[in-house]
């Protein structure tokens, strides 16, 4: 027989449909509207998990986000999610879930033997042992601890589902869709402002079910009709951040087996709210008493929820242990629904609810407490004794023990917004104080309980948040519900009284922590792991604090509470990543010639966000090096063309453009004639080299600056900073034009012969257009700028053209160069050529080097200020023994060099320098490299060793000039 605990009517489950699911492999049935927890209870399943440390049997304890015990591995394979709360899993057809942290089975769990040695496993036991011998920690103790710790098992496969992100703005954000939140949204919505309401549950107004259903449906209908109101069910606000910005997670498709096509599994909302209403409700707290963790012990409100909302009897015979009248309503709800009531145990001498209970024929043990529970894998009864009476207790048969120690308003989000909390004597709990941000707390979150009062409080908050009047709202009917408590936290006795049920932290553990000096609440928390489970101590946090207070001889409110850090409920990792996954983790920047490179079969490499051709394999090439060497040879001996569009380009215009550049660069630009380019070196203000590149003067008041690919953004910001904040009086305008201009470098002895065929309107002869000349021209009708500059050390021209013309110009160059067997060359050959030439790049200019370190000290102008000038003269930066740029060649030309090798005197291990870049050369035999070497200039001509102990490599090398090819720089001028 299935669903033997399901009531014939009541609740909002859809009994017309039956859905099947599996738990630990066994098939069960439930209804739409169920959670996994309610469906398991309907089927009489009591034992659902094992505890973290002692592997004690555990049952369903709550009905919502505060659940400590009922955690499952939901789904299977790549979709398996560990630690999912059964109380929040919406039942769907075919659902599969498994209990966790047990072996070999839930009923027979080997590690439950831990219970026998529990006294050894007291708080902090691991800090006091496992120290001998030292090497055993990683080999023996830690693997054992790691295997037995943890909760569920994570999937090791890629997540097949997708996630979405949303950026939202609203005037009023209502957090919580209980009665207070609905009232707030109704009032704010009626005022016409933009309202959003987030509710973590899959139904709104759940607390009204079985109470005032009419008010609930009317409210939901009205809200649905307001175009300015966005209702987000299944959406938990997980954290409050500065300036009323919150993060929320919407479970879009967790209630189906798999998300449909084009539907994300979850959606991450960033919501910027003008005003926020915290209608986050309250969490019922338990009382610590011996064996208060046995399956069948349940929060009173949760037990009533299973009856009223799900139509499920959480047990056949219920006993209530409570210190407040409101909890009696939970018992009455159960009694009205046909659950046999065993009675009430109440530490208070008398109360209105006690009288009401007696009037209902319920036995009330007043001034009494539960001193223990009976049963093994499920509760069979509770032992009840009068407070102060020694010895005698009565065993009361019950299979569900409803517990209520009062309520804790859910102040987490308010405190994250820096709202201070105040102690409420009536609730014996913390309530929110005055908000610092434009925020309002309402309903149970504000310590206001009872449907009617909470609705009124919500309406007030909605009015405050929107400026609308609140009085028009009709209020729901409710029953008397007084949450005034007798502060009552713990029943001392033999047996474990848990204050953190998930992490197996007992009241004794808290006392032990206090005894050992871990008396501050944060110390006690960390020493015992109290409140550090996935439920974050929602129902037991204050109980532990109270035990600590007693141990310290202080009041609970003087002990304080640990900081409520985000997240209010655990947040799915993939949802935060959203769509920024896989190839979309970072933007991909492509040259306008990218498609051509692809067609040509280039091998690509990442350069920051850019994807650039590394080299272009040809059928004749045996390996990548063959390609690189072939391309570089073409540049040295014939002609080759390289796509250099990724270089940063900044257009600098204005009357003071030249003065501005003089102040930014170590060298002078004001004396640069129009139509000429000059290499420039730029420092940071601390005197370290920042960037280099050529700058061309296109007109008296117009310069074109190039930067390295990596520094395009930072240089632009650097320029703007000095222009706007240091020299705002200068008449200069800057524009980044990196993406607007494509650029290609045509290099090699045949470079001129190649471009002569296509350049229109410009004489590119050496006489008319010498080294470092710049001019406008056209190619196939496309406007181009021609720069006679060279990075390769060969006769070279750089042609820049608006990006849209890139392909036309590139094709023209290739066609013109065909006669000279022109080759495209990639970044690898570019690197080879520059190393042969001894030009520096980011490998040398890595933010640690001075101009002198790389042999560029002569680029400092003698007169006038420039950025970095003063601090570059500090002794630590002018020390002549600093590592300096040199060239390196292996003595045995066949030996391989590696970037990152260190240079040492033969036979020693003391590093004197390191190799920044290496390559096989085309102009020389074998490998060459650049290095930064202490006393480098003095060591030129000497022999050392290049060591890479990581590779087991040690190579005899000679230190040479870094300019391997054409040190006189004659080739560029032919």
CB of 723 to another protein, least distance (A): 9
**Is 147 an interacting residue with respect to another protein (CB under 8 A)?**
yes
Region class of 738: left (phi > 0), else alpha (psi between -120 and 50), else beta: alpha
Quick check: 749 and 637 in contact, CB under 8 A?
yes
Residues in 402-461 that interact with another protein by CB under 8 A = 416, 418, 435-438
If the CB atoms of residues 771 and 914 are measured against another protein, the closer one turns out to be 914
If the CB atoms of residues 110 and 585 are measured against another protein, the closer one turns out to be 585
H or E stretch at 441? strand 439-441
Residues in 159-178 that interact with another protein by CB under 8 A = 159, 161, 163
**Is 914 an interacting residue with respect to another protein (CB under 8 A)?**
yes
Quick check: 341 and 335 in contact, CB under 8 A?
yes
Q: Burial level of 519, CB count in 10 A (0-12/13-18/19+)?
A: middle
Among 298, 338, 303, 344, which residue's Cα sits nearest to residue 320? 344
Rounded CA-CA distance 508/460 in Å is: 44
**Is 858 an interacting residue with respect to another protein (CB under 8 A)?**
no
CB of 767 to another protein, least distance (A): 40
Quick check: 64 and 125 in contact, CB under 8 A?
no
**Is 726 an interacting residue with respect to another protein (CB under 8 A)?**
yes
Structure tokens at 151: 């909760």
Member of 18, 217, 389, 588 binding another protein (CB under 8 A): 588
If the CB atoms of residues 585 and 765 are measured against another protein, the closer one turns out to be 585
**Is 916 an interacting residue with respect to another protein (CB under 8 A)?**
yes
Structure tokens at 240: 């409050």
Rounded CA-CA distance 33/90 in Å is: 7
Rounded CA-CA distance 405/284 in Å is: 7
If the CB atoms of residues 478 and 490 are measured against another protein, the closer one turns out to be 490
Rounded CA-CA distance 237/679 in Å is: 55
**x-marked contacts with another protein along 696-715 as a string, rule CB under 8 A:** -----------------x--
Strand 163-175 and strand 195-198: pairing? parallel
**Is 862 an interacting residue with respect to another protein (CB under 8 A)?**
no
Member of 321, 498, 518, 825 binding another protein (CB under 8 A): 518
If the CB atoms of residues 398 and 661 are measured against another protein, the closer one turns out to be 661
If the CB atoms of residues 301 and 464 are measured against another protein, the closer one turns out to be 464
Residues in 180-209 that interact with another protein by CB under 8 A = none
Among 530, 628, 623, which residue's Cα sits nearest to residue 288? 530
CB of 129 to another protein, least distance (A): 4
Member of 119, 553, 894, 907 binding another protein (CB under 8 A): 119
| Residues in CB range of 22: below 8 A, 6 or more apart | 28, 95, 96, 97
Quick check: 49 and 69 in contact, CB under 8 A?
yes
Quick check: 543 and 405 in contact, CB under 8 A?
yes
**Is 949 an interacting residue with respect to another protein (CB under 8 A)?**
yes
Rounded CA-CA distance 322/613 in Å is: 73
Residues in 122-141 that interact with another protein by CB under 8 A = 122, 125-132, 134, 137-138
**Is 923 an interacting residue with respect to another protein (CB under 8 A)?**
no
If the CB atoms of residues 452 and 861 are measured against another protein, the closer one turns out to be 861
Quick check: 786 and 768 in contact, CB under 8 A?
no
Rounded CA-CA distance 559/537 in Å is: 16
If the CB atoms of residues 358 and 951 are measured against another protein, the closer one turns out to be 951
User: Residue 157's Cα: distance from chain center in Å?
Assistant: 20
Structure tokens at 687: 């005197």
CB of 706 to another protein, least distance (A): 19
Binding segment toward another protein, per CB under 8 A, in 288-296, 338-346, 669-677, 842-850: 842-850
SS (H, E, C) 662-679: HHHECCCCCCCCCCEEEE
Rounded CA-CA distance 633/747 in Å is: 11
If the CB atoms of residues 600 and 934 are measured against another protein, the closer one turns out to be 934
Member of 388, 517, 553, 622 binding another protein (CB under 8 A): 517
Angle at 537 between CA 533 and CA 540, to 5 degrees: 130
**x-marked contacts with another protein along 535-574 as a string, rule CB under 8 A:** -x----------------------------xxx--xxxxx
**Is 515 an interacting residue with respect to another protein (CB under 8 A)?**
yes
Residues in 493-512 that interact with another protein by CB under 8 A = 508, 512
CB of 333 to another protein, least distance (A): 32
Among 813, 610, 827, 644, which residue's Cα sits nearest to residue 742? 644
CB of 336 to another protein, least distance (A): 38
Member of 10, 181, 207, 247 binding another protein (CB under 8 A): 247
CB of 907 to another protein, least distance (A): 13
Member of 376, 670, 906, 909 binding another protein (CB under 8 A): 909
Member of 10, 64, 68, 152 binding another protein (CB under 8 A): 152
If the CB atoms of residues 757 and 898 are measured against another protein, the closer one turns out to be 898
Residues in 62-91 that interact with another protein by CB under 8 A = 79-83
**How close are the terminal C-alpha atoms of the chain, in Å?**
98
Q: How many other CB atoms are found less than 10 A from the CB of residue 272?
A: 14
Rounded CA-CA distance 255/265 in Å is: 9
Residue for token digits 């012990």? 297
CB of 295 to another protein, least distance (A): 21
If the CB atoms of residues 15 and 272 are measured against another protein, the closer one turns out to be 272
What is the DSSP-derived secondary structure letter of residue 33? T
Rounded CA-CA distance 345/382 in Å is: 10
Rounded CA-CA distance 306/289 in Å is: 24
Query: How many alpha carbons fall within 13 Å on the CB side of residue 313?
Result: 21
Among 689, 611, 708, 704, which residue's Cα sits nearest to residue 650? 704
If the CB atoms of residues 356 and 577 are measured against another protein, the closer one turns out to be 577
Rounded CA-CA distance 187/464 in Å is: 10
**Is 670 an interacting residue with respect to another protein (CB under 8 A)?**
no
If the CB atoms of residues 346 and 504 are measured against another protein, the closer one turns out to be 504
If the CB atoms of residues 82 and 450 are measured against another protein, the closer one turns out to be 82
Residues in 255-284 that interact with another protein by CB under 8 A = 270, 272, 274-275
H or E stretch at 179? helix 179-190
If the CB atoms of residues 367 and 899 are measured against another protein, the closer one turns out to be 899
**Is 870 an interacting residue with respect to another protein (CB under 8 A)?**
yes
**x-marked contacts with another protein along 13-52 as a string, rule CB under 8 A:** ---------------------------------------x
Binding segment toward another protein, per CB under 8 A, in 55-63, 255-263, 817-825, 900-908: 900-908
CB of 152 to another protein, least distance (A): 6
């Amino acid at each position: 027989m299935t669903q033997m605990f399901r009531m014939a009517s009541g609740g909002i489950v859809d009994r017309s449909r039956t859905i099947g699911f599996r738990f630990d492999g066994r098939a069960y049935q439930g209804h739409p509207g169920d959670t996994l927890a309610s469906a398991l209870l309907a089927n009489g399943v009591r034992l659902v998990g094992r505890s973290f440390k002692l592997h004690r049997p555990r049952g369903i304890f709550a009905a919502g986000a505060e659940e400590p015990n009922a955690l499952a591995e939901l789904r299977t394979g790549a979709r398996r999610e560990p630690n999912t709360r059964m109380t929040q899993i919406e039942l769907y057809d075919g659902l599969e879930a498994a209990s966790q942290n047990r072996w070999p089975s839930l009923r027979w769990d080997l590690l439950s033997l831990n219970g026998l040695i529990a006294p050894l496993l007291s708080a902090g036991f691991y800090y006091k042992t496992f120290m001998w011998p030292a090497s055993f920690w990683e080999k023996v103790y830690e693997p054992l601890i790691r295997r037995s710790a943890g909760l569920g098992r994570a999937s090791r496969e890629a997540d097949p589902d997708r996630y979405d992100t949303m950026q939202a703005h609203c005037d009023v954000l209502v957090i919580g869709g209980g009665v207070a939140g609905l009232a707030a949204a109704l009032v704010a919505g009626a005022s016409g402002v933009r309202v959003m309401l987030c509710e973590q549950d899959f139904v709104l107004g759940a607390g009204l079910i079985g109470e005032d259903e009419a008010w609930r449906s009317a409210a939901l209908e009205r809200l649905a009709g307001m175009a300015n109101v966005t209702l987000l069910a299944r959406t938990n606000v997980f954290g409050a951040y500065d300036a009323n910005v919150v993060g929320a997670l919407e479970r879009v498709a967790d209630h189906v087996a798999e998300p449909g096509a084009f539907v994300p599994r979850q959606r991450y909302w960033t919501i910027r709210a003008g005003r926020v209403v915290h209608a986050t409700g309250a969490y019922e707290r338990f009382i610590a008493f011996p064996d208060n963790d046995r399956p069948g012990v349940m929060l009173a409100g949760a037990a009533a929820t299973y009856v009223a909302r799900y139509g499920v009897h959480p047990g056949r015979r219920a006993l209530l242990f409570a210190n407040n009248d409101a909890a009696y309503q939970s018992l009455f709800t159960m009694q009205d629904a046909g659950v046999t009531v065993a009675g009430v145990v109440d530490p208070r001498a008398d109360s209105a609810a006690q009288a009401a209970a007696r009037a209902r024929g319920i036995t009330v043990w007043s001034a009494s407490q539960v001193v223990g529970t009976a049963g093994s894998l499920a509760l069979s009864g509770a032992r009840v004794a009068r407070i102060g009476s020694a010895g005698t207790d009565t065993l009361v048969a019950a299979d569900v023990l409803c517990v209520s120690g009062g309520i804790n308003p859910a102040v987490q989000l308010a405190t994250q917004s820096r709202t201070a909390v105040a102690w409420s004597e009536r609730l014996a709990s913390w309530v929110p104080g005055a908000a610092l941000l434009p925020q309002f707390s309402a309903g149970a979150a504000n310590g206001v309980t009872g449907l009617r009062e909470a609705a009124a409080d919500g309406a007030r908050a909605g009015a405050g948040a929107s400026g609308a009047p609140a009085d028009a709202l009709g209020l729901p009917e409710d029953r008397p519900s007084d949450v005034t408590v007798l502060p009552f936290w713990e029943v001392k006795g033999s047996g474990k009284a848990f204050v953190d049920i998930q992490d197996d932290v007992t009241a004794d553990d808290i006392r032990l922590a206090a005894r050992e000096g871990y008396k501050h609440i944060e110390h006690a928390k960390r020493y015992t792991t109290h409140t550090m489970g996935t439920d974050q101590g929602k129902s037991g946090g204050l109980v532990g604090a109270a035990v600590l207070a007693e141990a310290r001889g202080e009041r609970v409110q003087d002990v304080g509470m640990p900081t409520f850090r985000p997240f209010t409920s655990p947040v799915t990792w993939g949802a935060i990543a959203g769509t920024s996954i896989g190839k979309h983790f970072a933007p991909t920047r492509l040259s306008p010639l990218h498609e051509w490179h692809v067609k040509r079969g280039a091998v690509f490499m990442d350069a920051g966000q850019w994807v650039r051709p590394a080299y272009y394999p040809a059928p004749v090439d045996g390996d990548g090096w063959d390609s690189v060497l072939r391309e570089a040879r073409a540049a040295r001996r014939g002609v080759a063309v390289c796509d250099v569009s990724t270089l940063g380009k900044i257009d600098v215009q204005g009357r003071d453009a030249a003065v501005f550049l003089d102040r930014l660069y170590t060298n002078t630009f004001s004396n640069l004639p129009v139509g000429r380019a000059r290499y420039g070196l730029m420092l940071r203000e601390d005197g370290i080299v920042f960037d280099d590149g050529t700058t061309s003067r296109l007109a008296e008041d117009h310069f074109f600056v190039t930067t390295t690919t990596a520094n395009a953004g930072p240089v632009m910001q650097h320029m703007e900073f000095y222009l706007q904040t240091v020299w705002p009086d200068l008449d200069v305008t800057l524009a980044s034009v990196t993406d607007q201009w494509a650029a290609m470098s045509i290099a090699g002895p045949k470079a001129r012969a190649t471009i002569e065929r296509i350049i229109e309107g410009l004489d590119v002869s050496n006489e008319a257009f010498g080294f470092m000349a710049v001019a406008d021209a056209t190619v196939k009708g496309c406007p181009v700028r021609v720069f006679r500059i060279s990075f390769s050390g060969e006769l070279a021209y750089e042609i820049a053209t608006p990006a849209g013309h890139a392909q036309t110009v590139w094709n023209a160059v290739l066609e013109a160069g065909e006669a000279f067997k022109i080759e495209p060359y990639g970044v690898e050959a570019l690197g080879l050529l520059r190393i042969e030439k001894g030009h520096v790049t980011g490998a040398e200019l890595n933010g640690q080097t001075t101009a002198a370190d790389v042999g560029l000290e002569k680029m400092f102008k003698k007169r006038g200020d420039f950025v970095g000038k003063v601090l570059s003269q500090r002794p630590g930066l002018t020390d002549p023994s600093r590592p300096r740029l040199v060239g390196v060649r292996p003595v045995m030309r066949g030996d391989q060099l590696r970037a990152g090798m260190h240079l040492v005197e033969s036979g020693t291990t003391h590093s004197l320098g390191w190799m920044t870049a290496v390559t096989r050369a085309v102009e020389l035999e074998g490998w060459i490299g650049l290095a930064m070497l202490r006393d480098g200039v003095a060591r030129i001509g000497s022999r050392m060793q290049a060591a890479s102990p990581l590779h087991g490599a040690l190579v005899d090398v000679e230190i040479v000039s870094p300019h391997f090819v054409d040190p006189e720089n004659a080739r560029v001028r032919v």
